Structure 1
Amino acid sequence: MLRINWDNLRKSHETPWLILDLVMLGLLLVNLAWLLFDALYGTAVIHQQLENLLPGFTGTYDPIHKNFILVDLVFIAIFFVEFCFRWVVSVVRKEHLRWYFFPFLHWYDIVGLIPLGATRIFRFLRIFSILHRLHKFDIIDLNRTAIFRFFRFYYDVFVEELSDRIVVKVLSDAQKDISAGSPLVDDITRQVLAPRRPVLTEWVAGVLNHFGQSISDGHYGEAIREHVRRSVGKAVKSNEQVSTLHYIPVVGKTIESTLESAVTDIVTASIINLLSDIDARKIDHFVEAGLHDYTPVTDDLDKEVLGVINECLELVKAHVAQQRWKTELAEKNRPVPDAGIENQTKGPLE
């Protein structure tokens, strides 16, 4: 049931507007009812029935029916004055970015002022605009009305079905273009990655420099140095020439340990210098010169990349095609179990 929240009405200071809306709503209902009656009065069946039942009424109403456009113009004049008044108030309140936005946003009011049969139907929209304004200020709550929930649900169903089919159609067309041999990978490389190459090389250089600084740090670089120490130690011990040093009496193991430590420091320092000295220009030069003669089997790579893209699109289509409104409808129609029945079915030890 539709109820008015009087507390929110007082806080919003919309009481004068509510009174104006109710007055205009009453005039609008009278005008629409009169329009419907006059249209029915113009039919031969209704006119004949009224002549038989109320002969005096038809004689009085015939002049009004013939000049009903003048009666409608009185209502139109009232609606037009009220529209201009709201326009002025909206400009004073600065409700819109431009003063001329108001008539564009309330176009249905202007169209409804045209005294034609096809345009008078737009006066019905004034009722919805009044309800929407009251709902916006939390003066009334349309969500509690069964009619609003009914139309809201089927509106969401319509929008979901329409948008899902459009998205699935777009994705299917994209899959057809990819399957037909669309040079997607080449376009990504040429149009997306190539213009951003300076930024990418700068980023890679910054990451490598940061790694070099981290290795040189005594605390954060200990893991790298330990790994280098183990690798060098393994390489030194597996080397036949170096492994003969431990046969030297007294100093053999000392020389081998010193050599291992020296090589570890040299390799670690070389890695630090390499990572610290590298910059974006060197990386860019490496990409141009180092990969210049590299010719991999690009067809297999393209197929794999396009296959991944196609599978991703299939997953997106499957997710979009899910009719979530059916799930919501099933949850709404699911019967709620009675707590008393559940307690009766439980055993004494449960």
Structure 2
Amino acid sequence: MLNFSYSKLKSSHEGPWIMLDLLMLTLLIINLIWLLFDGLFGTQAFKSILDSISPALISAYTPVHNNFVLYDLAFVIIFLTEFCVRWVAAVVRKTYVRWYFFPFIHWYDLIGCIPLGGARIFRFLRIFSIFYRLQKYQIIDLRNSAIYRFTLFYYDVLVEELSDRIVVKVLTDAQKDIAAGSPLIDDISKQVLATRLPILTQWLSSIMVHIGESIEHNNHGESVRNHVQKSVGKAVRGNAQVSTLKILPVLGTTIEKTLEQSVTDIVTQSIINLLKDITPDKIDDFVEHGLGRFSNEDHMLDQEVLIIVNECLELVKQHVSQQRWKDSFSSQNNSQDTSVS
């Protein structure tokens, strides 16, 4: 159902332009119907039908048909005049960044003014542009109309089918590159990570220092210190040599608790110092001398990573290939069946 809002028309301050749109819409419908009639008039079958209805109609319209281009030029002049008026208004309002953008954005209006059979089809797009402007200012509401829902559904179907095939094609090409021995891991390491290594090491160093300061803080690091204390206490109590201290009367238990607390403090402070002392230079040295040395097993691991990536891409392709519009279509049919019953 098409809802017309007169209040939105007044509040939009676009009254003259809306009236112009409605006028152009009327002329477009008349022109398109006339184009259809004139095209059918050129066929012998349609003439036979008209002759059975009224022979005089054929005689009266034949001169118009022979000079139809001249009649169509009258509409073309009106359409071109309206196009120029809107162009000037767009320049005055600075609707677009450059004054010459208007004819490129509204190319269908310009091409539709060409009085040739192939170009006249673009006049249909003028109708859609007019309805779009009316919908934009909320003067009409097409969302509840059957035509709008029908068009939106099949538009979504078209976009989903096209986008799915494009995504699957891109992922398939990526899989082919990986299967052909594409040095993906090396490229990521050299072109992505290596160029940003100073920033990454600085960031990692800052994170480490922040963690160390958090552990050192009386409140923030309490959970970490408690965990270290439990771990050290468990290790101390499980140590055979320390357990012999319990043999000493009175002092054995005290020595064990003191030793446990001392080891806990030493371990906690060592972790704090280790984290706070990590600098970007030390991380660079670790990456260069530690991570930079790869063995044959490491290269085999790289291949396994590429296989994992390939399998992930295959799963993504399967997920993308699912035609969700069919589920939507089925749900719509089910809802319609429920409402009918």
Alignment partner of 1:215 is 2:184: no
Amino acid at match of 1:204: L
CA distance in 2, matches of 1:115, 1:182: 55
CA distance in 1, matches of 2:237, 2:57: 125
AA matched with 2:106: H
Please tell me whether the aligned partners of residues 2 and 144 of structure 2 are also in contact (alpha carbons under 8 angstroms): yes
Distance 1:256 1:26 in 2: 98
Question: Residues 328 and 243 (structure 1 numbering): CA distance in 2 closer, same or farther, change over 3 Å?
Answer: closer
Task: Find the residue that maps to 1:219 and give its secondary structure.
Answer: coil
> In the alignment, what sits opposite 1:347?
none
Q: What SS does the corresponding residue of 1:89 show, helix, strand or coil?
A: helix
Bigger radius of gyration: 1
Which residue identity does 2:5 align to in structure 1? N
149-158 or 223-232: bigger deviation:
223-232
User: Which residue of structure 2 aligns with residue 107 of structure 1?
Assistant: 107
Paired position in structure 2 for 1:344: none
Aligned twin of 2:304 = 304
CA deviation map 1:92-132 (0-9, x unaligned): 22222222221111111111222222212222222222112
Aligned equivalents of 1:236, 1:45: Cα separation in 2: 105
Equivalent residues in 2 for 1:163-312 (5 A)?
Answer: 163-233=163-233, 258-291=258-291, 293=293, 295=295, 297-312=297-312
Cα distance in 1 for residues equivalent to 2:220 and 2:150? 63
Greater Cα shift, 119-128 or 244-253: 244-253
SS state at 1:119 partner: helix
Partner of 2:317: 317
Distance 1:136 1:263, change over 3 A: closer
How many Å apart are 1:64 and its aligned residue?
4.6
Q: Which is further off, 106-115 or 62-71?
A: 62-71
Shift of 1:269: 3.0
Matched to 2:25, the amino acid is L
Q: Distance in 1 between matches of 2:19 and 2:192?
A: 60
Write out per-residue CA displacement over residues 176-204 of structure 1, whole angstroms, 9 at most, x where no aligned residue.
32233222222222222222222222122
Per-residue deviation at 1:292?
A: 5.1
**1:336 aligned partner:** 338
Q: How big is the shift at 1:260?
A: 4.8
Q: What's the Cα RMSD here? A: 3.3
Q: State the partner residue of 2:74.
A: 74
Change (3 A) 1:283 1:78: same
The match for 1:137 is 137
User: In structure 2, what is the equivalent of residue 30 of structure 1?
Assistant: 30
- Work out whether 1:11 is the aligned partner of 2:6: no
Query: What stretches of structure 2 of length at least 5 have no aligned partner?
Result: none
Q: Secondary structure at the match of 1:181?
A: coil
Residue deviations 1:250-273 (CA, integer Å, cap 9, x gap):
766655655554444344333322
How far the C-alpha of 1:279 sits from its partner, in A, is 0.7
Counterpart-to-counterpart distance in 2, 1:19 and 1:165: 43
Distance 1:45 1:66, change over 3 A: same
| Alpha-carbon separation, structure 2, partners of 1:42 and 1:306 | 65
Aligned residue pairs total: 338
Distance 1:6-1:105 versus aligned 2 partners, 3 A rule: same
- Cα-to-partner distance string for 1:272-303 (whole Å, 9 max, x where unaligned): 22222221111111222344555361243123
> Against the structure 1 CA distance between its residues 55 and 186, is the aligned structure 2 distance closer, same or farther, given a 3 Å change threshold?
same
- Cα distance between partner residues in 1 of 2:6 and 2:36: 34
Equivalent position of 2:152 in the other structure: 152
Distance 1:73-1:169 versus aligned 2 partners, 3 A rule: same
Residue in structure 2 matched with residue 117 of structure 1 by the alignment: 117
Call closer, same or farther: CA 1:241–1:323 in 2, change over 3 Å. Answer: closer
- Percentage of matched positions with identical amino acids: 59
What does the per-residue CA deviation read over 1:24-48, in whole Å, with 9 as the maximum and x for residues that have no partner? 2232333334444444555567678
Do the aligned residues in 1 keep the contact of 2:3 with 2:142 (CA within 8 Å)?
no
Shift of the 35–256 alpha-carbon distance from structure 1 to 2, 3 Å rule, reads closer
Provide, for residues 6-56 of structure 1, a one-character-per-residue CA deviation record: whole Å limited to 9, x for no partner.
Answer: 222222233322322222223233333444444455556767866995559
Classify 1:198/1:61 alpha carbon distance in 2 versus 1 (closer, same or farther; 3 Å).
same
- Secondary structure, aligned partner of 1:143: coil
Structure 1 pair 189/291, CA: closer, same or farther in 2 (3 Å)? closer
